[in-house]
Structure 1
């Protein structure tokens, strides 16, 4: 299969299933869709299978968004039952977030690989420093800004999330803590952005990569039935089941952790992600 020994395929399949389990857990714990860990894992997986650099990163991101779509729904429902989701914020952000995702999907059709990685490095690095230092001075204000500013923030969150392959939890959680919202509420509310970002994001990446298969006829993973545009159906099948099972477990764990421990865990996670992609930019 794909010219790779069967034992390697078994090992990679096992690794992908494990990554799916971690993805679902992170979706619940941090209110993110798990794309921050899923994209790096998929990046290595597709590299081993010979996917060219030019299309590898968007294929990772499109696949990540496809897996996030159902996982984020379960995560949001689990958090919503706790009664800490701020639906007012989600209603304001709904339209601009979706608009940002569509723009991000358009950019993905021609952007270089390093653009995606740069977004990862910058956003993850800032988030990690904010959470690990726990400095109260890292605030834009004590309450959320007005509606006009919120609409702009929503557009930016949707755009950057589409370029990172994440469900918006990473960006919106950081945004809300910058305005003094408690981490638990930020995490719970952020989980609601997952479906708003992932569903239009998947459609955008399918369209962005629709004509790429013909440009790489020797790359099996870009051809039907293994992929739809920049969405790998093979990756979807391997990661999806495990992530669905562990998302509710992560949500319960998030509400059981003390505030500071949750911040430190989130910060370390983001720092690792930032370092990984920074390294890959100079060591392709």
Structure 2
């Protein structure tokens, strides 16, 4: 990485800034924290830089979670100011979601790179198909379930989202809309779920990769601070624009856009597994 030509370093910096702009926009638009964009981009970029396959996906996921921290906070602040967040539901996740994050961090310390990519691709595919072909009658109920089911769902949202390196919007949007909640409310609440996932998740990935000799320069555990420093400012600026777009779009348009996006992400990781 230290031997990269200046032109490659500049290209990487420009690519990281572009990824930050897209991830910030999507954080506000879909409440997904941008991780579904950042993880595939990081994975490819780290491969081009010669980072060992054994840690490449882990660094992509861990760094994505660290970047989601400011993105989710900014997105949540903007949605909360509009009164769109289901505060009661979010409060009920305060223990369950971080508990799932802790377990995911323990798993990340031993799971293979291919295992992480399989998790990412499988969940992205299922969620994308569900949203793309969604029908109004595709519901599990008209009321979000209470405990113990809600706690279990919150745990799974934290667990699976942390393994994917995303902010929880993919899971929480699906959960809330399956129980009849408006997509705009689901998006707004997902920004808060992203905060509950990203902060403990990034700490967990630092712990999981601590001292690994295969890590690229500028990393603490599975979090790379160089990439974070390049992308952080752009995500903060782009997130409020995504929020404005979210509230301007119709529900079905939002679902179709989110669904198509997730299918593209699933295809990208499926290709990396067979390629």
**Both proteins in one fold, TM over 0.5:** yes
Provide the aligned length of Structure 1 versus Structure 2: 275
Deviating beyond 4 angstroms after TM superposition, the runs of 4 or more aligned structure 1 residues are none
What's the CA shift string for 1:187-246, capped at 9, x where partnerless? 111111111101101110001000213xx3xx6x2x4xx011100011101111111110
> CA separation in 1, counterparts of 2:242 and 2:34?
11
- Residue 252 of structure 2: aligned partner: 260
> CA separation in 2, counterparts of 1:88 and 1:279?
40
Q: Of residues 233, 242, 245 in structure 1, which corresponds to 2:234?
A: 242
Matched, 1:70 2:62: no
Partners of 1:101 and 1:158 within 8 A in 2: yes
- Residue 150 of structure 1: aligned partner: 150
Which structure 2 segments of 5+ residues have no match?
none
- Residue 112 of structure 1: aligned partner: 112
Structure 1 position 138, deviation (Å): 2.7
Q: Secondary structure in 1 aligned to 2:111?
A: coil
Partners of 1:210 and 1:228 within 8 A in 2: yes
Which structure 1 segments of 5+ residues have no match?
none
- Residue 166 of structure 1: aligned partner: 166
TM-score, with length taken from structure 2 = 0.97
> CA separation in 1, counterparts of 2:93 and 2:121?
24
Partners of 1:2 and 1:49 within 8 A in 2: no
- Residue 24 of structure 1: aligned partner: 24
> CA separation in 1, counterparts of 2:91 and 2:125?
28
> CA separation in 2, counterparts of 1:26 and 1:86?
20
Structure 1 position 116, deviation (Å): 1.2
RMSD: 1.1
- Residue 90 of structure 1: aligned partner: 90
TM-score, with length taken from structure 1 = 0.94
- Residue 11 of structure 2: aligned partner: 11
> CA separation in 1, counterparts of 2:115 and 2:143?
32
